[in-house]
Amino acid sequence: MSDKLKKRREIILRVLLVLSILAVLAVEIWYRLIDSPTELTTDIYSSLSRLFGTAVALVFMLEFSLGKILHPLGNKRASSILYILPAFAIAINNFPWVSFLAGDCSMSASAPDILFYAFMCLCVGLFEEIAFRGCVLMLLLKKRTHSKLAVFMAIFWSSVVFGAVHLVNIFTASPGAVILQIGYFALIGALCCTVLLETGNIWLCVFTHALYNFAGGVIPAFGEGTIWTGPEIAITAIVGVAVAVYSVVRFIKMPTERAAELFSGKENLINN
């Protein structure tokens, strides 16, 4: 890329960054000016905040040359499907299938309500994956691709940060529940990190994250009854342990240069 094109790219990115930040501020001001926001208004505010926050994180990625993982085809390795499927299994298993099929819980909602909830989950997955895997993990990895231990530490610390962010839930939940959330989300963060390493595709992380949130939240949002029965807990634990063991084995066998592949080559979506 010539100096002229680099300069033009820098200007465009800075303009996009300013516009994205202004959009976030505009949504925040709009919401604060509403005297008695309805549940729908709050949901719209939350979704818009995450979408514009994603725009800020995307510009940040491009500014620091982290954009290769934005390519929709990823690394194009057929073997990547061997890891995507277990990750999807975790996400799908977050729905209480045993309790639902046994009649211990039920759900009643219109199709538009469910679709809007799915959109909200997509906004959450989009923002959190671009911010924590696209920015935090990638920045930690950038100087740590030389050894398996260095890659592991990058995954560990980015997952810890992702889990710790959920400390904000202390204002709406009990301390015990928040501690469990922190640990659980740290593990989900690590799972998404390994999906990114295996596939080189951030969008698969977004989809996995959104599917996980939707599967686990749709019954509490629109249903009633008992979700966590004994059989449900047992199935969830079995699937979780199986995928965890599989993930560790895959990581151990993963070539050391896999992390470096996330940065090498042309950033097709940026420089073309």
Q: Given this model, what pLDDT does residue 57 score?
A: 93
Yes or no: say if 167 and 176 are a contact pair by the CB < 8 Å rule.
no
Pairing of strands 105-107, 223-225: antiparallel
d(CA 6, CA 8): 5
Q: What is the pTM of this model?
A: 0.88
Q: What is the pLDDT of residue 270?
A: 44
CA 1 to chain centre: 32
The SS3 assignment for 219 reads helix
Helices (H), the chain: 3-32, 39-63, 81-93, 97-101, 111-128, 138-142, 148-165, 175-199, 202-222, 230-253, 268-271
CA distance 219 to 236: 16
Measured between alpha carbons, how far is 212 from 214 in angstroms, rounded to an integer? Answer: 6
Q: Report CA dihedral (49, 50, 55, 57) to the nearest 10 degrees.
A: 120
Angle at alpha carbon of residue 190, lines to 91 and 265, rounded to 5°: 105
CA distances from 170 to 51, 73, 178, 212, 216 (A): 24, 39, 6, 22, 20
CA distances from 47 to 24, 31, 120, 149 (A): 11, 12, 6, 37
| pLDDT reported for residue 122 | 97
- Reference 74, options 224, 271, 249, 265; nearest CA is 265
Per-residue pLDDT of the chain (272 residues; tens, 9 = 90+): 567 777 787 788 888 888 888 998 999 999 989 988 999 999 999 999 999 999 999 998 988 888 899 988 777 666 677 778 888 888 999 999 999 999 999 999 999 999 999 999 999 999 999 999 999 999 999 888 888 899 999 999 999 889 888 887 777 767 776 787 787 788 888 889 988 998 899 999 999 999 999 999 999 999 999 988 889 889 988 988 888 888 888 888 888 888 888 986 554 444 43
